[in-house]
Amino acid sequence: MRELANRAGYGGVVSVDSAGIGAWHIGHLPDRRSIAVARAHGIDIAGLHGRQIAAADLAAFDLILGMDSRNVSELRRLASPETAHKVHLFMKFATGRNDDVPDPYYETADAFEALYQTLEAGCSSLLEKLERPS
């Protein structure tokens, strides 16, 4: 999303971050297959590190997107009444489809490319919903 926003001229107005629900990946680098697929598309994610979502994130960001319905439920549980309206299922919000984003971890490298294509299409759809910066 960050790369697409930059390419579309939204880099200065759109802030993108990523965090997990659980603590098991805090400080870890992305999966090597994710790094390879991103690199093949001209995106460098090799220096990113996992972090856990914090209550402050729910207040700081205008939009919180969960990749699957279980994560969305957890995010809504963490949210206050004032921030719960910000939490949405990624695919539902981006494309109108009530689908979970599949987790390719136990799949082949091809599943990571398919996931990239799914996420790129969803992120492109999100960008179309934004007003063009002046």
User: Is 26 part of a structural domain of the chain?
Assistant: yes
Q: CA 103, CA 68: separation in Å to the nearest integer?
A: 9
Residue ranges for the chain with pLDDT beneath 70: 131-134
The token duo for 131 is 């007003």
pLDDT at 11: 85
Residue with tokens 């997990």: 20
Domain region containing 85 = 2-129
Q: CA 65, CA 6: separation in Å to the nearest integer?
A: 19
Q: Helix, strand, or coil here: 20?
A: strand
Q: Which amino acid is at 46?
A: A
pTM (two decimals): 0.90
User: Is 73 part of a structural domain of the chain?
Assistant: yes
Instruction: Point out which residues pair with 64 in neighbouring strands.
Output: 87
User: Is 20 part of a structural domain of the chain?
Assistant: yes
pLDDT at 31: 96
pLDDT at 115: 97
The CATH number of whichever domain residue 85 belongs to comes to: 3.40.50.2300
Residue 36, φ and ψ in degrees, nearest 5? -65, -45
